[in-house]
Structure 1
Amino acid sequence: MRRFTRKGSVLTARMSEAEVAMLASLIGQLVELTTDALGEPAAESADPLERLSAELSAEPDEPEQSGDPVIQRLFPNPYPHDPQAASDYRRYTQADLRDQLVAHARQVLDDLAASGSGSRPVAVAEADVDSWLKVLTALRLSLAARLGVSDAEGVEELAALPEDDARAYLYSVFEWLGFAQETLVGSL
Structure 2
Amino acid sequence: MAGQFEPAPGGGAAVALDEVEVSILRSLAVQLLELIGPGDEPAADDDLFASIFSDGPTEPPTDPALARLFPNAYGDDDSDDKLRAYSSEFRRFTENDLRSRKREDGIAVVRTLDSLSAPGAGGAVLTLTADDCRHWLGALNDLRLTIGTRLEVSDEDESGELYRLPDSDPRKPMVMAYLWLGALQESLVETLLP
- Could you say which TM-score interval applies, normalised by the shorter chain? 0.7 to 0.9
Deviations 1:94-122 (A, max 9, x none): 00000011111111211111112435311
- Cα gap change, 1:146/1:52 in structure 2, threshold over 3 Å: closer, same or farther? farther
1:74 aligns with 2:78: no
**Equivalent AA in structure 2 for residue 34 of structure 1:** I
Give the distance between the partners of 1:148 and 1:131, measured in 2 at CA: 25
Greater displacement, 109-118 / 24-33: 109-118
Instruction: Report what 2:111 is aligned to.
Output: 110
Match of 1:41 in 2: 40
In the other structure, the counterpart of 2:171 is 167
1:21 is aligned to 23
Percent identity between matched residues is: 31
Tell me the equivalent position of 1:65: 60
CA distance 1:110–1:155, shift in 2 (3 Å): farther
1:22 Cα shift? Answer: 1.0
- Please say if 1:51 is aligned against 2:76: no
Q: Deviations over 1:108-163 (max 9, x none)?
A: 21111111243531111123211111110000000000000111526711001111
Q: Which has the higher helix share?
A: 1
SS at match of 2:145: helix
SS in 1 for 2:157: helix
Equivalent residue, structure 2, for 1:138 = 142
2:95 equivalent to 1:94: yes
Q: Which runs of 5+ in 1 are unaligned?
A: none
| Unpaired stretches in structure 2, ≥5 consecutive residues | none
After superposing on structure 2, the runs of 4+ consecutive aligned residues of structure 1 that deviate more than 4 Å are none
TM-score normalized with structure 2 length: 0.83
- Give the TM-score, by structure 1 length: 0.86
Equivalent residue, structure 1, for 2:132? 128
126-135 or 172-181, larger mean C-alpha shift: 126-135
Bigger mean CA deviation after superposition, 106-115 or 170-179 = 106-115
Residues 88 and 20 of structure 1: is their aligned pair in 2 closer, same or farther, counting only changes over 3 Å?
same
Distance 1:152 1:65 in 2: 24
Aligned length: 181
